[in-house]
Structure 1
Amino acid sequence: MHPTVDSAGQNQGQGESKVTTRRSLLAGAAAAVPLIGRSRAQGAPVMRIGVLNDQSGAYRTNGGPGSVANTRLAVQELGAARGLNVEVLVADHQGKPDVGLNAARQWFDRDDVDVVMDFQNSAIALAVAGLAREKDKVAIACNVGTSDLTGARCSPNTLHWAYDTQMLARVIGGAHVHAGNDTWFFITADYAFGHALEKDTANFVKAAGGKVLGAIRMPFPGTDFASPLLQAQQSRAKVIGFANAGTDTVNCIKQAAEFGITRRGPKLAGMLLQINDIHALGLEAAQGLTLAESFYWDLNDRTRAYAKRIGPAMGGAMPNMSQAACYAAALHYLKAAADMGAAEAKRSGAAAVARMKAMPAEDDVFGRSTLRADGRVLHTAYLFEAKAPQESQGTWDYYKVVATVPPEQAFRPLNEGGCTLG
């Protein structure tokens, strides 16, 4: 598996948008393509950003080419304007930690890559973060659940955007328990992300006075969730929590509807649902589901303007919080590199991250964000409810805001994570 330099502006998504018209998908998201994404700054050192994620598997639409498109947009909008010479590289880790780590090592050792970002896999993110520290490069998690990245395994070379399992547990778990839905049963993806999401949510439920009645761990990816769904129903839990993501969550929700489970009582909590998952489900099946994201394209004038700019590169699809975080993270990294000088940013990843933490982060995705000492990027989180079909004005008009959660309530406090950088 060879990482490649991306230049084609691969499209992602389906259907029409209120913001943009449909554009056809460009094939071959990770195929070898000519060099681009380069700001024409003569004489400047070449800065390289590697997007490492799932380009072909179950999580493709959660990140995949969409994350690449968002990263490239940041380069296009800021690179040349700040006199930077930037390339974007792409690799598909196929959901395999060894493949992901080898790709990152090749980028650092052979291709002079300065930043590896996105990940879409907690185990890969933790491994690459360790490698980035060893090599004094930068690792930026945009699509990763594990809160260990800013906890016990924090690093001066790592930043974590968009969400983590702590945020999801606090926003979604807290809303359900406070509404009286205080008994839970988990269906969990059997790998690091699923384990962490179940653990963090269960701890939050128990701390709020609730109970966990059971949990079943399922191989990832999975297709048949009949047995765990029926066991969850038989437990008489008020909430069935899906500690999984991507097609696993979509399949769980679809099969729960087929079995009539939601008509007979328990609430369904998609602990990591994003707008592309709602699109795949359709509002008929998704209506009433609650979910947490830190970005929605239709929140305000700035998010709508951003969505209009990125929409064509995504085939008319709207970005989720993780894909949008790739834009915000790349933009802020490039601002810091321009501020300190490209050569100095390339010399030390830890110095680049320190400069990013010292600078105010401002963008059309999250507005104003704070980069905390432990690497956690703090921004407002939202509890959304999926609209009923008759409430939607068109494709991608999917969410109602139920609650706005300020950063200090949405994310774990600095002194509770175990990070030695605080």
Structure 2
Amino acid sequence: MKSDFLIALTQLAAERHLPREQVLGAIEVALASAFKKDNPASGQNISVTLNPNTGDVSVFALKTVVETVEDADKEITVADAQFIKKGAVLGDEVAAAEPLPHNASRIAAQTAKQVVLQRLREAERDLLYQEFQQHEGDIVSGVIETAEPGRTITLDLGRAQAVLPYEEQAPNERYRKGQRTKVYLVSVRSTPKGPEILVSRSHKNMLKRLFEIEVPEVYNGVVEIQAIAREAGFRSKVAVSATQPGIDPVGSCIGIRGNRIQSIVNELQGEKIDIVSWDEEPRAFITNALSPSEPVHVELLESEQTAIVVVPDRQLSLAIGKEGQNTRLAARLTGWRLDIKGTTEWEEIQEEIAAAGGAVAAADEEATEETEAVAEVVEEAIAIVEEVEAAVEDADVEEPVTAEAEP
């Protein structure tokens, strides 16, 4: 029996990919529970230990040290307690060995089985959760189990199942049952049924992880990805910089004859990827971000976090992109609102500003002349008033007026 028990224990641990010690602990708890159920009247606090080498089962009951034993199932004398625990005194609790139930084999085979399996399922869930939680933010591979257009897709990741919601799917991709695909592991949540794993094909960090996989310089930190703007399935922009002199960050990501970037494009099923140089100076960064167009002037309105970008007329549609995509991605990449102008429109705006400035200057000059004329009139009026006041004062002095009393 001992040999069979240990063999079964070892096989169970291997099948469930669980540590043997964890299985052992689950069985000990299960046996204790089963023995309690077999003799509920005793009310004993039972514990069980299982020798992993021999398979021997030992049963212990927690008993209180008393002077006179009244309930042998729960109490023990001082003398007996000191054989178990040296120095035991009244009121202490000791674990006293108990004889195995006469039907211990049947109990272990029947009652403990369900409890053991339950504990194993719980342990397996915890291990799976911990295993996949460590891979949050990584790319994992799975086989599609269910795939219906416009609905959530389920994937088999080997030891667990993952969900790929519709909003996390790339619009240009088609999925079919049995297809193996790479996904970005967004989050793992522990549930009573096991880990709930959320994956994505449209997350911008999937693009970042692909660069880390395909470009050694990115993985090693020689080239850093500073920003990503992505419209999954259609187009993305990636801003990169070098941490060491003499390194071409854009060239490193593209690879010889474009082999590195092509591997990423293939994985994303044809998504276009623009790799641009990051620059801490906003004008330079905005210019780079609007690639493949070539801006000739960038004017920043910092209070509004807006940049007016002037491009050659022939590149206006190129700078804006299909349905504004190029400008939209560049704005998200740089963090600036971008207002794209052609050179002709920009020159017209400058002429209007200059004309408006001339009109204002002329108006100011005319207003100045009018102000000077008014000032002259005012000065003349003041002079006349002063002359009148002086004449009145002189008249008062020469012909004084006196008041006489009536006779």
User: In proportion to residue count, which structure has more strand?
Assistant: 2
- Structure (1 or 2) with the larger CA radius of gyration: 2
Quickly name the TM-score band, shorter chain normalised: under 0.3
Tell me the TM-score normalised to structure 2 length: 0.21
> Which of structures 1 and 2 has the larger relative contact order (alpha carbons within 8 angstroms, sep 6+)?
1
User: In proportion to residue count, which structure has more helix?
Assistant: 2
